[in-house]
């Protein structure tokens, strides 16, 4: 077995995580509140949340959508959310026929309605298919939000609300994305329990 300095590795990873979570807590609360407001407003009007991203961000989109539609902490009515990363037929057809840049935009064009919320996840803020989807969402009058890394890349110009984690390390950014996603789920559960939304989805 190849040996390395595990103690140093462990401490460096843990220390970096603590630093990023502290910076995230200090900088993103106001923007998180704005995201929560637009999501709650959409759901109260019978809208839905559409999430998308690539790789680990695709997994995060699916994770968050599932916590919303099934449950996070509370037994409650389902919250309308959909990850655009799960339909292999749609993804491969769009990729083959329209190009990989259109795999989320095409689905948003079909499923998005004015007042829905489109949430793109990209650690770099430069994923072409996420950017194309946000452009489509804006054209269709959806609210747009993004989870990204420091600075937000090209997403910043396309998002009504951008949660750009103050880090350039992909792993740390993704760790904060799932934390923010869990916080969004937990906050929406509390809000919608007190004031249930209408049920006029797709």
Element (H, E) at 49: strand 49-53
Instruction: Confirm whether 105 is domain-assigned.
Output: yes
Q: Residues, the chain, total?
A: 202
Q: How confident is the model at residue 119 (pLDDT cuts 50, 70, 90)?
A: very high
Instruction: Provide the number of structural domains found in the chain.
Output: 1
Residue 1 falls inside a structural domain: no
Q: For residue 67, tell me if it sits in a domain.
A: yes
Instruction: Using CB atoms within 10 Å of the CB of residue 44, give its burial: 0 to 12 exposed, 13 to 18 middle, 19+ buried.
Output: middle
Mean pLDDT of the chain: 95
Is 3 part of a structural domain of the chain?
A: no
Kindly indicate the confidence band of residue 202, based on its pLDDT and cuts at 50, 70 and 90. Answer: very low
| C-alpha distance from residue 147 to each of 53, 63, 154 (Å) | 10, 14, 12
Rounded percentage of the chain residues whose pLDDT exceeds 90: 91
Nearest to 81 by CA among 104, 58, 47, 109: 47
Would 13 be classed as within a structural domain? yes
For residue 159, the domain's CATH number is 3.40.50.10490
- What is the CB neighbour count within 10 angstroms for residue 27? 14
164 is a domain residue? yes
Residue 111 resides in a domain: yes
Q: How confident is the model at residue 198 (pLDDT cuts 50, 70, 90)?
A: low
Q: Give the residue, 194 or 85, on which the prediction is more confident.
A: 85
Q: Which residues lie closer than 8 Å to 150 by C-beta, 6 or more apart?
A: 164, 165, 166, 167, 168
Give the domain range for residue 43. Answer: 9-194
Supply the pTM of this predicted model. 0.94
Place of tokens 């890349």: 153
In this structure, are residues 31 and 145 in contact, taking their beta carbons and an 8 Å threshold? no
What tokens does 36 get? 């929560």
40-84 confidence digits (pLDDT tens):
999 999 999 999 999 999 999 999 999 999 999 989 999 999 999
Residues ≥6 apart with Cβ < 8 Å to 49 = 39, 42, 43, 65, 68, 79, 80, 81, 82, 116, 117, 119
Mean pLDDT of 190-198: 80
Taking only the tens place, the pLDDT of each residue in 147-176 is 999 999 999 999 999 999 999 999 999 999
Domain membership flag for residue 99: yes
Q: Is it the case that residue 200 has pLDDT exceeding 80?
A: no
Edge-to-edge strand list for the sheet holding 161-164: 81-83, 49-53, 117-121, 143-148, 161-164
**198 or 162, greater pLDDT:** 162
Task: From 47, 18, 30, 2, select the one nearest 175 (Cα to Cα).
Answer: 18
């Amino acid at each position: 077995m190849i040996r390395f300095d595990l103690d140093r590795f462990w401490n460096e990873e843990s220390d970096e995580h603590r630093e990023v979570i502290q910076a995230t807590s200090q900088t993103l609360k106001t923007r998180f509140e704005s995201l929560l407001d637009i999501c709650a407003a959409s759901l109260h009007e019978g809208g839905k949340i559409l999430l998308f991203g690539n790789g680990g961000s695709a997994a995060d989109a699916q994770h968050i959508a599932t916590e919303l539609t099934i449950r996070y902490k509370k037994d409650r009515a389902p919250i309308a959310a959909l990850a655009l990363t799960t339909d292999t037929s749609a993804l491969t057809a769009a990729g083959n026929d329209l190009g990989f840049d259109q795999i989320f935009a095409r689905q948003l064009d079909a499923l998005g309605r004015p007042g829905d919320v489109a949430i793109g996840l990209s650690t770099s803020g430069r994923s072409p298919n996420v950017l194309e989807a946000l452009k489509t969402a804006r054209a269709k009058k959806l609210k747009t939000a993004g989870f990204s890394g420091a600075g937000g890349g090209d997403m910043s110009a396309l998002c009504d609300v951008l949660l750009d984690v103050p880090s350039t390390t992909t792993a740390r950014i993704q760790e904060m994305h799932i934390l923010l996603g869990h916080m969004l789920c937990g906050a929406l559960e509390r809000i919608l329990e007190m004031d249930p939304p209408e049920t006029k989805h797709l």
